[in-house]
Amino acid sequence: MSTTVAVVGGGYGGVTAAKALDEFADVVLVEPRDAFVHNVAILRQLVDPDWSGRLFFPYDRLLARGRVIRDRAIAVDATGVMLGSGDHVPADYIVLATGAHYPFPAKVEELTADEAAATLRTAHDALAGVTGALLLGAGPVGLELAGEIKARWPGTAVTIVDPAPDILGATALPGELRAELRRQLDELGVELVLGTALRADPPGRPGDAGTFTVTTESGRDITAGIWFRCHGVVPTTSYAGGSLAAARDARGHLVVNPDLRIPGHPTIFAIGDVTAIPEAKMAKAAEQQAVVAAANIRTLIEGGGELATYSPASPGIALPLGPAGGASYNEQVGVLGAAQTSQIKGSSLRVDSYLRLLNLDQ
Ligand SMILES: Cc1cc2nc3c(=O)[nH]c(=O)nc-3n(C[C@H](O)[C@H](O)[C@H](O)COP(=O)(O)OP(=O)(O)OC[C@H]3O[C@@H](n4cnc5c(N)ncnc54)[C@H](O)[C@@H]3O)c2cc1C
């Protein structure tokens, strides 16, 4: 008798889990977009729409046996997944991999690659015409965006405002990494206005061009021609009502056991940015969790046995500041500078790995 696994969400975690299970089960991948978004590369695409890499990857070669349904989950329980269309996908096992919402341009709302590319192109054209950009948030996205803007348009003034006293806020990353990034940002001419917030948001929508002046709580006036919000990540778990509601923590993340099942739900797994696992939310973590969840589903399909567990990774990051700049850190190697960061991530943005994952490299 065949076993159906519904994977909800076709981002980094969902695609990895769906592919790993395709051989052992009837996989149904539920995803509202018409293409996988290689989000890690989105800020490069914003500043350089003609860069040599790719941002959108079709799903049509991902699964040899399984299928992709282009729809959105609106409710999930042990019997399967209820879709926005009103259809129900019955499933023996479910993997929740719906990620998180992040304000544009770190993520795009549009569900087709063409529309998303057009939105990025419009923001690119707006950015190209301004002399100053204001970024709200000195976390990884704000810093990466500042680096991309400076690499593309060195003459554009970039100011980052953040209420935290240092860049990378409350992350567990070491002072040495922050110091290296601050040094490079200074070299690029990026101005950091830390330890204060704006009295009010800038006018208009993020990404629209138009000169404005805003004032910080510390009394500093900042004039710019465009602004972006680089903070405010929210896990996408609104479909997790009913019996799953108890698994949602105060921030909307789903609590999971070490085997990545939702407590009290022996057939429902959650992976990636939706989980409450205490570690930095990264594509790499989502993929590693997908491997563990897929292995556990295979074990259960094949009659049981001990399930694998996932251990949160130690703090680490590869943070490019444009194709040739940036810094990286992990516990094994410590802090790496611009050249190594460019080699690890900045120049290629790991496009080849995802072409392979989506079977688009042959
Ligand atoms: C600008 C930026 C740069 C980044 N750089 C890096 C990096 O260099 N390295 C790194 O490791 N991480 C990086 N990250 C983090 C990384 O992108 C996330 O951790 C990763 O996307 C999480 O993967 P996921 O599979 O959990 O979710 P996602 O990749 O976000 O995928 C979730 C999918 O679920 C779909 N979905 C949403 N709701 C529903 C629903 N109701 N039903 C069905 N499907 C749904 C979405 O359309 C989406 O395709 C970066 C993030 C940003 C924003």
Residues 215 and 336 both lie in one domain = yes
Q: What is the pLDDT of residue 348?
A: 81
Atom 1 (ligand 1) nearest CA:
106
Separation of CA 12 and ligand 1 centre (Å): 6
Separation of CA 71 and ligand 1 centre (Å): 17
What is the SS3 assignment for the chain?
A: CCCEEEEECCCHHHHHHHHHHCCCCEEEEECCCCCEECHHHHHHHHHCCCCCCCCEECCCCCCCCCEEECCCEEEEECCEEEECCCCEEECCEEEECCCEECCCCCCCCCCCHHHHHHHHHHHHHHHHCCCEEEEECCCHHHHHHHHHHHHHCCCCEEEEEECCCCCCCCCCCCHHHHHHHHHHHHHHCEEEEECCCECCCCCCCCCCCCCEEEEECCCCEEEECEEEECCCCEECCCCCCHHHHHHECCCCCECCCCCCEECCEEEEEECHHHECCCCCCCHHHHHHHHHHHHHHHHHHHCCCCCCCCCCCCCCCEEEECCCCCEEEEECCCEEECHHHHHHHHHCCCCHHHHHHHCCCCC
Q: Please give the single-letter amino acid code of residue 170.
A: A
Look at strands 73-77 and 67-69 and give their pairing: unpaired
Residues 227 and 323 both lie in one domain = yes
Whether 361 is in a domain gets the answer no
Residues 346 and 200 both lie in one domain = yes
Pocket residue to mutate for ligand 1, from 16, 39, 237, 349, most atoms within 8 A of Cβ: 39
pLDDT in tens, the chain (362 residues): 589 999 999 999 999 999 999 999 999 999 999 999 999 999 999 999 988 778 999 999 999 999 999 999 999 999 999 999 999 999 999 999 999 999 999 999 999 999 999 999 999 999 999 999 999 999 999 999 999 999 999 999 999 999 999 999 877 899 999 999 999 999 999 999 999 999 999 999 999 999 999 999 999 999 999 999 999 999 999 999 999 999 999 999 999 999 999 999 999 999 999 999 999 999 999 999 999 999 999 999 999 889 999 999 899 999 999 999 999 999 999 999 999 999 988 778 889 999 999 999 97
For residue 77, the enclosing domain spans: 4-32+70-102+233-313
Residues 271 and 328 both lie in one domain = no
Q: What is the pLDDT of residue 1?
A: 55
Q: What is the pLDDT of residue 125?
A: 97
Q: What is the pLDDT of residue 333?
A: 93
Q: Please give the single-letter amino acid code of residue 199.
A: R
Residues 299 and 332 both lie in one domain = no
Whether 10 is in a domain gets the answer yes
Residue reference for tokens 């570690």: 279
Give yes or no for residue 272 CB within 6 A of ligand 1: yes
Separation of CA 16 and ligand 1 centre (Å): 12
Whether 54 is in a domain gets the answer no
Separation of CA 349 and ligand 1 centre (Å): 15
Whether 61 is in a domain gets the answer no
Separation of CA 112 and ligand 1 centre (Å): 16
Q: What is the pLDDT of residue 126?
A: 97
Whether 95 is in a domain gets the answer yes
Whether 50 is in a domain gets the answer no
Q: Which of 206, 160, 168 is nearest to 186 (CA)?
A: 160
Residues 178 and 222 both lie in one domain = yes
CATH number where 342 lies: 3.50.50.60
Residue 242's Cβ-count burial label (10 Å; 0-12, 13-18, 19+) is exposed
Give yes or no for residue 43 CB within 6 A of ligand 1: yes
Residues 127 and 215 both lie in one domain = yes
Cβ neighbors of 206 (< 8 A, separation 6 or more) are 103, 104, 105, 227, 228, 229
Give yes or no for residue 42 CB within 6 A of ligand 1: yes
Whether 188 is in a domain gets the answer yes
Atom 20 (ligand 1) nearest CA:
283
Whether 88 is in a domain gets the answer yes
Residues 224 and 306 both lie in one domain = no
How far is the first Cα of the chain from the last one, in angstroms, to the nearest whole number?
33
Residues 178 and 322 both lie in one domain = yes
Q: How far, CA to CA in Å, does 194 sit from each of 198, 239, 299?
A: 11, 37, 50
Give yes or no for residue 15 CB within 6 A of ligand 1: no
Query: How many structural domains is the chain composed of?
Result: 2
- Is residue 96 within 8 Å of 76, Cβ to Cβ? yes
Residues 277 and 206 both lie in one domain = no
Residues 202 and 135 both lie in one domain = yes
Residue reference for tokens 């049981």: 304
Residue 12 CA: nearest ligand 1 atom is 25
Separation of CA 190 and ligand 1 centre (Å): 27
Residue 37 CA: nearest ligand 1 atom is 49
Residues 122 and 214 both lie in one domain = yes
Give yes or no for residue 34 CB within 6 A of ligand 1: no
